[in-house]
Amino acid sequence: MWSSLHFSSLHLSSSQVLPAELIGYQQLFVAGNWAMLLGLLMTLLSVVFSYTLAEQFSLLLQGLFHISTLLWATLIKFGFIMRFVAENKRNQWLRQQA
C-alpha cells in the first residue's frame, strides 16, 4: 500500500532511473498526493469550524466556513485527478516497456 505513494518506486529496480518523459508526471503525482492531503485536512477543519464551533463565530464567518468546506472538498477531487493522470501515464510507459 505505501509503495503506491512513491511514483518512481513501482516496477523499477534500484539500478533503473525514472525516464525524463515521466519526471513531470512524477511531480504531478506528488502534487496530487499533497493536494488530497491538504484538501482533507482543510475540509475537516472547516467542518469543525462550521458545526462544532459555530456559536463562537459571526453569521458571516459561519457562511464562509460552510462555503470553504465545499471548496476544500473540491481540492481533494482535483488532487485525485492529478494522481490518476500521472499513474495512467506511468502505466502506459510500463506497457510500452514490456
| Domain-embedded: residue 80 | yes
> Structural domain tally of the chain?
1
> Model confidence over 22-68: pLDDT tens digits?
999 999 999 999 999 999 999 999 999 999 999 999 999 999 999 99
For residue 62, the enclosing domain spans 32-98
| Domain-embedded: residue 19 | no
| Domain-embedded: residue 73 | yes
Contacts of 63 (CB under 8 A, 6+ apart): none
> Model confidence over 85-96: pLDDT tens digits?
999 999 999 898
| Domain-embedded: residue 67 | yes
Candidates 8, 7, 25, 30; CA nearest to 17 is 8
Instruction: Inform me whether the pLDDT recorded for 13 exceeds 60.
Output: no
- Quickly state the pLDDT bin for 20 (edges 50, 70, 90): confident
